[in-house]
Amino acid sequence: MKELAADGVPVTVTCRVLKLARQPYYRWLATPVTEAELAQAYRANALFDAHTDDREFGYRYLVEEARDAGEPMAERTAWRICSTNGWWSAFGKKRGKNGTKPGPPVHDDLCAYLDEHGVTRHRFTAQGPNELWLSDITEHRTGQGKLYLCAIKDVYSNGSWATPSATG
């Protein structure tokens, strides 16, 4: 708006076109950074300094370090600032819903190759028996419990067999 006002366009017209009220604009023009935003910036700076000094600290220890540096705050405030900025302890966060993190694949992907565009594709062919096997397992809920169905296929012979298993 300042540039438009410098070019001779009145602020009233600019506010009307942008559908802004003039009073909040002039209030912002007087103080573009509020005291709350400034306090949060100082708190984030203190937390960041403590985090770079010792990356093993979680937000609870970072709060204490920030308090010692002269920026007192609640633990919830520190958690929010750390969470927003991605400042986590080097020891990691809690595990997911089922208690595990996804790990590396348990085998090499023998079917994968890169095409002419650099995209990973899969070719399911084998030159002999027992070279490449494909498998899949599914879980179906029933009235008596869960039913698991596992299908295993030898790519070379194109033979397959399935084994159902029920649990109660």
Q: Which of 157, 109, 160 is nearest to 135 (CA)?
A: 160
pTM, full prediction? 0.42
C-alpha separations of 52 from 38, 65, 87, 92, 111 in Å: 21, 12, 9, 16, 44
> How far, in Å, CA of 59 to CA of 6, rounded?
47
Phi, psi of 148 (to 5 degrees): -105, 135
What is the per-residue pLDDT for 161?
A: 56
Confidence at residue 96, expressed as pLDDT on a 0 to 100 scale: 60
Nearest in space to 125 (alpha carbons), one of 155, 154, 162, 103: 155
Model confidence at 149, pLDDT cuts 50, 70, 90, reads very high
Least confident of 72-86, 106-120, 149-163: 149-163
As a dihedral over the C-alpha atoms of residue 70, residue 75, residue 78, residue 82, rounded to 10 degrees, the angle is: 140
Please give, one letter per residue, the 3-state secondary structure of 7-18. CCCCHHHHHHHH
pLDDT digit string, tens, across residues 22-77: 888 888 788 888 888 889 999 999 988 888 887 777 888 888 888 898 989 999 99
* DSSP H stretches of helix in the chain: 2-6, 11-18, 22-30, 35-53, 59-68, 75-85
The pLDDT of residue 162 is 54
The pLDDT of residue 130 is above 70: yes
What does the alpha-carbon distance between residue 66 and residue 43 come to, in Å, rounded to a whole number? 7
Q: Is the pLDDT of residue 168 over 60?
A: no
Average pLDDT taken over every residue of the chain = 82
